[in-house]
Structure 1
Amino acid sequence: MEGLVVIGPAGSGKSTLIGALSRWMRKFSTIKIGKINMDPGADVLPYKPDFDIRSIVRAEEVMKNEKLGPNGAMVRSMEIVEERLDEVIDSILSLNADYYLIDTPGQMDAFVFRRSGRAIVEKISSKIRTAGIYLSDCERDVEDFVTAILMGKIAELRLNIRVIPVLNKIDLGGEDLRSLWERIMRGNLKAVEIGGGVGSEALMELIKSISLFSMPVEVIGISALRMEGLEHLFSKLNEVWCSCGDMT
């Protein structure tokens, strides 16, 4: 059994990817897929979850019942999930799936930066081989890619799983943006144009630092909406799951 935790900011296409990847994987008739929604604040999903955390807690109801704002309600919702974690994990594993595709909150900090998110992933990864992807869309500024790289590494550190970078909506941005992300990760300053200003020197130093702690990794380009690049993504995930692949 393998698990995939999809992490990324709101609007990056996490839920769309869960739906697209599950449809693509259905081509392999022997594979049983478990689609897991772990976002208690989700409104409408582009797939039908096989396990839905909203059956246990809804952020909207927490907000009303505990008189919290949207952010506080999301944090509290994830705490409730942690309090009932054994029940949640038992429900997920009862699906007896070959692959578990796990959708996470768009409010990423409530999952990555809180103890509850780490507890959820640790519990899952103790039962099944688990990998993560950090999903970003086609940003065009160097600053955006540096932020994406740092957030992906923070997620890897906090959740204690291997996280690979995936660039979504590549049909809108093209190959050049995927290549730019890779060059930044490798510390290729010549390939990066940075304007002047107070932050330019700090940005250059950040890029140098990224290349020191970030092993060479291929950035996977996909379009979840058009279901492009999913075969390559699945191949790379299998390399991570078996811990024997070359991710460079």
Structure 2
Amino acid sequence: MIGSIYAVGAAGTGKSTFSASLKEWMISQGFDVAVANLDPGAEYLPYDADFDIRDLISLSEVMSEYSLGPNGAQVVAADLMLENFQTMLKPLEEFEDYYVIFDTPGQIELFAFRQASPQLVDAISGSRATIAFISDAILASSPSGFVSQKLLYGAVISRFFKPSINVMNKSDLISDTEMDTIKEWEEDTDKLLEAYMNEKQKAEKSYFAGIIRAFSEISVAGKVIPVSSRDLLGFEDVYSSMSMSFTGGEDTDTSMKDD
């Protein structure tokens, strides 16, 4: 594959909708794109998956075989996917000349914090992988929500050691004023700390001051890219960040292949 992007984030941030919209936007720009579902427990997908892990692992069969409820079966199914990733490689070979978007499990811990996940990404994508951390603009509009998502992003990128982008989904659901405030917090950690302490007046200031200032010192989250999956806004910036990882910023023509 030309390059791959793994949509990773907490439940409810809109990873699947983001994956569907990114594919739609890239196809509109003339690129060959596939989307792969890596969530064995997904009940509904807003796209037609070009690769679907559910064809290989059935959650209902896992529940039956291991005598588990839905939550326990999700964990076992995720581990089975990671432990038997060799079975995934063959069907993915047909996307050699494609960009591939991987839609990861809804519960972030089922992918980001399983032992075998980094090896899975390496086996499938090698050096042509980018981690797209999907955050929620509504949650980010409060200081504590902004900080908590930054910390989660830092935890995710520390697991994979791959190029990464911080995508703030649902940007159409907050006001321009709220968006300006988020951008201000991104650029000025002193203002973020002030806003955080105003919200959490009983918090230990020195402790959180160190955490918040570390964001800028170690570039924990880089530039946040606001997107609207509903309105297809911001995806040009997402693609630009992807292409910097894959091709040094140059577009790759994927539209002139023989059928």
Both structures adopt the same fold (TM-score exceeding 0.5):
yes
1:58 aligns with 58
1:152 aligns with 153
Q: Say if 2:232 is the partner of 1:227.
A: yes
Distance 1:117 1:174, change over 3 A: farther
Aligned equivalents of 1:17, 1:46: Cα separation in 2? 9
Distance 1:234 1:79, change over 3 A: same
TM-score, scaled relative to structure 1: 0.88
Report the secondary structure of 1:3's partner residue: strand
Question: Which stretch shows the higher mean deviation, 71-80 or 189-198?
Answer: 189-198
1:132 aligns with 131
Q: Which runs of 5+ in 2 are unaligned?
A: 251-259
TM-score, scaled relative to structure 2: 0.85
Distance 1:108 1:64, change over 3 A: same
Residue 176 of structure 1 deviates from its aligned partner by: 4.4
Distance 1:88 1:176, change over 3 A: farther
Aligned partner of 1:221: which letter?
P
Distance 1:58 1:94, change over 3 A: same
Alignment deviations for residues 19-53 of structure 1 (CA, whole Å, 9 cap, x no partner): 11111111233x22111000111001000001000
Q: Which runs of 5+ in 1 are unaligned?
A: none
1:205 pairs, out of 183, 207, 210, with 210
State how 1:38-77 maps to structure 2 within 5 Å.
Answer: 38-77=38-77
Residue 203 of structure 1 deviates from its aligned partner by: 2.9
Aligned equivalents of 1:188, 1:86: Cα separation in 2? 44
- Aligned partners of 1:185 and 1:210 also within 8 Å: no
Name the Cα RMSD after superposition. 2.2
Alignment deviations for residues 204-246 of structure 1 (CA, whole Å, 9 cap, x no partner): 332012222226722111100111111122112212323579x
2:95 aligns with 95
Distance 1:216 1:69, change over 3 A: closer
2:253 aligns with none
- Aligned partners of 1:187 and 1:208 also within 8 Å: no
Distance 1:39 1:108, change over 3 A: same
For these two proteins, the number of residue pairs brought into alignment is 243
Report the secondary structure of 1:189's partner residue: helix
Aligned partner of 2:161: which letter?
N
- Aligned partners of 1:187 and 1:207 also within 8 Å: no
- Aligned partners of 1:35 and 1:100 also within 8 Å: yes
State how 1:83-122 maps to structure 2 within 5 Å.
Answer: 83-122=83-122
Distance 1:216 1:41, change over 3 A: closer
